[in-house]
Structure 1
């Protein structure tokens, strides 16, 4: 664990096709010496389509004072479940809070907590999972498989190119960039008693490690936390799941960790070089 152009068949298109066929039939009749049939009057142009009116944006209720802040250790209850927690579809856009902003339990719903620009010194980038009525749903940190809703102001957009997929039973980590597989590694995942949390999470940032067992490399701290904190030693119960190097190669391909994903040093170096804040990490069985 880590502590700290689709073309549609419109009515206008069908009218145009019918006129073309009628004209061709008249030409073919004339080719046989017959008097050409009188040409039909052209069809009137279709009326202009009505302009699309965007759906109105639901207003945001004012946030009351004293809302709890989602930080590295705690996340308030009351947020809805991620409806696509096990989806392997990449999320390609994230957001960065420009200031402390309230997060709601639904578009136009109740504000339940606040998000800040950083968590434990790491700039916060939240993957956007859905959009509705001008609002965006984001994956939440420190709240496994939960989403929160934000109105359209108070944040800036960030592109997301990468996606990490962890398969627990196969003990495999796949790195994709722009939908293309870049690398696959055999890894170690959590034991039956301390499993790696399932579902979609994301990279909070990198954090230092101590001890030769981590290969002298930083870890990637994830947004997810143990599903059962009591199954862990007391010193790890407030920790986050991480991706980090491991000193023993015989650990890979096994369920052997406290929930973190352990991988070879060369693989960790590559991830540290290329994987930014906000990258989605999907853990599946």
Structure 2
């Protein structure tokens, strides 16, 4: 049995150990505080995992909506057909003959489609998909969601009774096939040059040519290739192809007994200066180069 002195000694030992533990813990706390005051890190903090940045999806640039859509099913019976022989007073003449081009061509998706003088009105003519003298692939000069404004063959009036300039009209995009155009033709009457332009490439196909005299001038402004033909009876062409345009003479109601006076590129032995009834007389190489262009290719004639 332990004595009181023995218990007292044991208790004193346990107390000493406890006190020593407290002192050690206090020393650690003080050391941590001092380290904090000195600006020393207490412990290396784990680096946060970087969060991936999500880039916002760019909003596409909206296209011009333009005039409201018209989904009416029109009866085309009785409407005049847009051909080289057509005279349609209701359709406007091009009001911006040196305006821009869209680089797009339109063609009827069905056998024939309605042609409008302006969106929202009733159609005034029909454009066939196919016609013997072509003129059915037409350049787009304004493009919107539901409508395209195009150049057309035919005339608003004969020169003797009105304006025979380049005809225009509107088509519904729901009615047509749209395709990209690869080229355009630029003509300078002053410089006597004819260039085929494809993107940034310019091919000079004529450095001189014949054009209309004062009484029968070559029409200025934008038009397009209507059709390409070889006419053996036109002996002056010497069998070379003729590239007919959509625009007709500003002074002649008809030509050579016909009721049309179509402007064209064609070969002629006399082909320099103002010598023609309005056509553009070129050499053999130019006649063939121009004849290879797709129907509907825009042509711009400047003074």
Q: TM-score range by the shorter chain?
A: 0.7 to 0.9
Q: How does 1:58-207 map to 2 (within 5 A)?
A: 58-64=69-75, 65-87=77-99, 89-98=100-109, 99-122=111-134, 124-132=136-144, 134-143=146-155, 144-185=165-206, 186-207=208-229
Mean Cα deviation higher: 156-165 or 76-85:
76-85
TM-score by length of 2: 0.69
Q: CA deviation at 1:225?
A: 1.2
Q: Partner of 2:266 in structure 1?
A: 244
Q: How does 1:14-33 map to 2 (within 5 A)?
A: none
| Cα drift, residue 119 of structure 1 | 3.1
Q: Which whole-Å CA distance do the structure 2 matches of 1:90 and 1:180 have between them?
A: 17
Coordinate RMSD, CA, aligned: 2.9
Task: Return closer, same or farther for 1:51/1:241 CA change in 2, 3 Å cut-off.
Answer: closer
User: Aligned partners of 1:152, 1:282: CA distance in 2, in Å?
Assistant: 25
Preserved contact between residue 70 and residue 142 of structure 1 (Cα < 8 Å) = yes
Contact 1:107/1:132, CA 8 A, preserved across alignment: no
Structure 1, residues 237-259: CA drift from partner, whole Å, max 9, x if none?
413111111123xx32x011111
Kept in 1, the 8 Å contact 2:84–2:135? The answer is no
* Structure 2 SS opposite 1:119: coil
3-state DSSP of counterpart to 2:226: strand
Kindly state the Cα deviation for residue 228 of structure 1 after the two structures are TM-superposed.
2.0
Contact 1:68 1:113 (8 Å CA) reproduced? yes
Query: 1:5 matched to which residue of 2?
Result: none
Q: 1:138 and 1:191 mapped to 2: Cα distance?
A: 29
The CA deviation string for residues 66-121 of structure 1, in whole angstroms up to 9 with x for no partner, is 1111112123112233232123x454110111221110011222311110012324
* Cα shift at 1:180: 2.0
Tell me by how many angstroms 1:199 deviates.
1.6
Q: Give the direction of change, closer, same or farther, for the CA distance of 1:166–1:280 in structure 2 (3 Å limit).
A: same
Residue pair 1:73, 1:239 contacting (<8 A) in 2 also: no
CA deviations over 1:156-208 (Å, ceiling 9, x no partner): 11221111112223332221112421114111111111111122111012122
Gaps of 5+ in 2: 1-53, 156-164
Contact residue 103 and residue 180 of structure 2 kept, 8 A: yes
Whose RCO is larger (CA < 8 A, sep 6+)?
1
Counterparts of 1:48 and 1:239, CA distance in 2: 56
Residue in structure 1 matched with residue 237 of structure 2 by the alignment: 214
Count of paired positions: 237
Runs (4+) of structure 1 moved beyond 3 Å?
Answer: 47-57, 60-65
Rg (Cα) greater in structure = 2
